[in-house]
Amino acid sequence: MNKKGLIISGGTINTSFALQTLKEVQPDYIIGVDKGLEFLYQNQIVPSHIVGDFDSANPEIVSYYKEHTTVPIRKFNPVKDASDTEIAVRLALELKVKELWILGGTGTRIDHVLANIQVLKIPYDAGVKAYIVDVCNKISLIGKETCLKKEDAFGPYFSVFPLGGIVEHFSLEGAKYPLCDHTLCPYDSLCVSNQIQDEEVRITFPKGLVILMETRDEESVCFC
């Protein structure tokens, strides 16, 4: 059985969306990261693992998990060479997950958001499907060929950006704004806010990595 992991990091978390995601994903492991512990504590969720330097976590909540649970806690010096989210991602790979979801990976700190998107390459290189999700966005890395089905779409919009350099011979079929044999460049906004027009969009390119962002407006979201 392919194991699933879910990381609760310290960014912005919509409680209804996060609880719905937990229900849908049914993770084998829940990793609480620093300030992300506040969401877990408030919703009476006991994680399987806790990591972080705890520079932004409520110390009373950290103490609660130390004193009242047997959850393994890995504490790190704030002066370190990796973000708390990256540490959690690497822990998830140690746990042999094959699918990884990250909540609280986006928010007001754009530097952290960009870092978290780049961290997605770590599970990608390990052959693990990984997603950063919030109420309006689902972010992943793709290589070579991917299909987006309209019936399964996270939202009506999608954007693509090259990661690590240009991506040549890039094509989009079935989109409102198709492309054929295009050179995807890091320095323009051509591929922002496209839409799925046919029953599916086919994204193809022979080599390289592409950031895929599936997006929607918050007012269109219904929690059922």
**Per-position pLDDT tens, the chain of length 224:** 799 999 999 999 999 999 999 999 999 999 999 999 999 999 999 999 999 988 888 999 999 999 999 999 998 887 788 899 999 999 999 999 999 999 999 999 999 999 999 999 999 999 999 999 999 999 999 998 899 999 999 999 999 999 999 999 999 999 999 999 999 999 989 999 999 999 999 999 999 999 999 999 976 777 66
Are residue 25 and residue 101 in the same domain, yes or no?
Answer: yes
Are residue 87 and residue 128 in the same domain, yes or no?
Answer: yes
Contact 147, 118 (CB under 8 A): no
Last residue of a domain, one of 135, 152, 167: 135
Are residue 125 and residue 28 in the same domain, yes or no?
Answer: yes
Contact 189, 207 (CB under 8 A): no
Contact 3, 129 (CB under 8 A): no
Are residue 122 and residue 148 in the same domain, yes or no?
Answer: no
Last residue of a domain, one of 106, 135, 164: 135
Are residue 79 and residue 175 in the same domain, yes or no?
Answer: no
The conformation of residue 94, written as its DSSP 8-state character, comes to H
Are residue 68 and residue 171 in the same domain, yes or no?
Answer: no
Write phi, then psi, for 60 (nearest 5 degrees).
-65, -35
* Boundaries of domain holding 158: 142-220
| Count of structural domains within the chain | 2
The conformation of residue 135, written as its DSSP 8-state character, comes to S
Are residue 180 and residue 112 in the same domain, yes or no?
Answer: no
- β-strands 99-103, 194-195 pairing: unpaired
Last residue of a domain, one of 118, 135, 152: 135
Give the pLDDT confidence of 179-189 residue by residue, as tens digits: 999 999 999 89
Are residue 69 and residue 11 in the same domain, yes or no?
Answer: yes
Look at residues 37, 32, 34 and name the one whose alpha carbon lies nearest to residue 49: 32
Are residue 85 and residue 130 in the same domain, yes or no?
Answer: yes
Are residue 146 and residue 50 in the same domain, yes or no?
Answer: no
| C-alpha to C-alpha distance for 6 and 109, rounded to whole angstroms | 21
Are residue 125 and residue 148 in the same domain, yes or no?
Answer: no
**CATH label of the domain that carries residue 156:** 3.40.50.10240
| C-alpha to C-alpha distance for 48 and 11, rounded to whole angstroms | 20
Q: What length does the chain have? A: 224
- The rounded radius of gyration (Å) of the Cα atoms in the chain is 18
- The reported pTM is 0.95
Give the pLDDT confidence of 61-101 residue by residue, as tens digits: 999 999 999 999 998 887 788 899 999 999 999 999 999 99
Are residue 116 and residue 25 in the same domain, yes or no?
Answer: yes
